[in-house]
Structures are given as C-alpha cells and as structure tokens.
Chains A and B, each alone.
Chain A
C-alpha cells in the first residue's frame, strides 16, 4: 500500500461511517451534520486524487449550500429537535437486503475488473487552470445549457413555493 492509498482508505472509512450514521440516526439535524462529515471526507478523497478544483467546488456547493438548504427544509417542516420515532419505514430489512446485494455485486465486479489498473497521480491535472481551459473551450456549450437548467430550476422552485392564495393575482400589493 502506498501512502496515497492509506490516506484514501482512511478518508473512505470516514465517509462511509458518516454515511451510515446519516441513514441510521434518529435525529434529523444530526443526519444533516453527519452528511457534512461525509461530504468533507469525499472532498479529501478528491484532493488525494489530485482533483483540487472539484474538491473545493464540493466544499463550497455541497457543504456550503446544499446542507444549508437541507437544514432550512428541516426547520421549515417543523421537525422536532430531539430524537423522533418513525423516521424509518417498515421495510428496513428489504432495504438492507437490496443495499447489501448491490454492494456485494458492485464490489465483486469492480474489484475483479480494476484490481491491476493503476492511477499515476501527478499534480496539475485537476487544477483550476486546466479545468477552466477545458470548460470554456471544449465544454462551453454544455456549460451554457446547464446555466439555463439552473435558471429553470430556480423559476420552478419559486412557482412551487408561492402560496395558493396569491397564485393568479398579480397586483403589486399581494406580490
């Protein structure tokens, strides 16, 4: 095992453990906070893979924006702060069975397929320089389409969250 593999394994264990805590904890807010740990460890895995730009985007958007959105969602649905019952459905064992068989099949397949392939880690391949050039030269059309998608999602979220009383009325008083 090389040093990179040891660090990667440690980060992977942290990400997996925090993920398991996220899907098993009985407190909604704790689930969101374990999600922060899991996303942070995944960002560390990107750093080990020398994808530094993706790592910082992960920290900014996932840890910074998405978890805050989830916490707002928890707050607005008036979830209890303490442990709450009934967060798990009755088909937990079926879910465990499906997830376990997914894990066994995928891990067996990937281990047999990629055991001998090696990544030569060299810094520079994931810098903001290289990725910026790639996005704004080769990938500029998908990038612009994605901005339209974000705009559509934003408008959709606004339309959905308008309350029904003032939908259809457009007077300035009612907004």
Chain B
C-alpha cells in the first residue's frame, strides 16, 4: 500500500476538523472537531510506524498516548463547558466576550 493513501486521508480529515473548530459556535461541537483532528494525526502516526517498521513501535505507542491525552482533554473540556453553562446559561463561543464572572452579586 502506498504511504500517500493514509497521509492524504489524514490531511483531509484534519481539514474537516479545522473547518469544524473555526465554523461551529457550540462549544461541544468545537470539542468534537478537535477530536477529529486528533484522529487524523493518529492515522499518520500508525501509518508511518508501519512504513518505517519501527522496532520500538514508537508511532503506535504515541498514538495510544494521544488517545489517552484526548480522553483527559475531553473530560476537562466538558467540565469547563458545564461550568460555563452554569455560570452564563449558554455555551456559544462567539458570545463569551467578558472575562469577569457574569453574576457576582447573585451568588
């Protein structure tokens, strides 16, 4: 199999993720698009590991580490999104334009 196949598909999937991160307003959809980008990188890691016949299996091990880091990232990201929702009542990334807490006196 030519190396170009996984490389090209990974690049296209990455571009789809880039579009999602830039075009979506809902914070959860932005997180989903970030996951698409991480997946594209993983395809590259595995394909190049197979191409180079790495004795240490560095590419595949790094892909596994990326999956773990993605799980940690989505856990923390969703905690932040839920905190944002509780504090402001919406999770549109376009509308988060103040840095202070929104309703200090109410609490």
Interface residue ranges, A against B (CB under 8 Å):
2, 4-5, 8-9, 12, 15-16, 19-20, 22-23, 28, 31-32, 35, 38-39, 42, 45-46, 48-51, 53-54, 57-58, 61-62, 65-66, 69-70, 72-74, 76-79, 86-92, 94-96, 98-100, 102-103, 106-107, 110-111, 113-121, 125-126, 130-131, 134-135, 138-139, 142-143, 146, 149-150, 153-154, 156-157, 160-161, 163-165
Q: For chain B, which range describes its interface: under 10, 10 to 19, 20 to 34, or 35 or more residues? A: 35 or more
Given contacts A73-B28, A99-B16, A107-B12, contact A54 B6 (CB under 8 A): no
Complexed CA–CA distance, A114 and B68 (Å): 29
Alpha-carbon distance between A30 and B50 when the two chains are bound, in angstroms = 34
CB distance from A76 to the nearest CB of B (A): 6
Interface contact B49-A77, CB-CB below 8 Å = no
Q: Nearest chain B CB to A154's CB is how many angstroms away?
A: 7
Name the residue among B23, B47, B78 with the largest chain A CB count within 10 angstroms: B23
Chain A residues with Cβ below 8 Å from B91 are 77
Chain A facing B: main interface SS = helix
Note all chain B residues with C-beta closer than 8 A to A103. Answer: 11-12, 15
Tally of A-B Cβ pairs under 8 angstroms: 256
Does B96 reach chain A (CB closer than 8 Å)? no
Q: Give residues in B with beta carbon < 8 Å to A.
A: 1-9, 11-20, 22-26, 28-29, 31-33, 35-36, 39, 42-43, 46-47, 49-51, 53, 56-57, 60-61, 63-65, 67-76, 78-83, 85-86, 91-94, 107
